[in-house]
Amino acid sequence: MRKDRIKNITDKGDKMEIGENTFLKLREQRDQARLECDKVKIQRDIALRKLNKALQIAKDLRKLIENGNQTK
């Protein structure tokens, strides 16, 4: 009975090594994922600011063109 129980524990497919701390690895992976997410958010914010700036420039140019055509 005991040998069967031990065999079932080792045959579960977990390739854990002796002394391996699974929770520590999971925490490290979570922290890494959060850092990557933060970097992506920063990149998104920069891209949105650039896009808004380009949109504002396009609007200003349109106004200049419309005002230039009206004065002629």
**Residue 7: inside a domain:** no
- Cα–chain-centroid distance for residue 57? 29
Which residue range forms the structural domain that includes residue 42? Answer: 24-72
**Residue 64: inside a domain:** yes
pLDDT for 62 beyond 90: yes
| pLDDT at position 11 | 52
Count of domains in the chain? 1
**Residue 10: inside a domain:** no
**Residue 52: inside a domain:** yes
List, for residues 40-51, the tens digit of each pLDDT value: 999 999 999 999
**Residue 29: inside a domain:** yes
Q: What's the predicted TM-score (pTM) here? A: 0.59
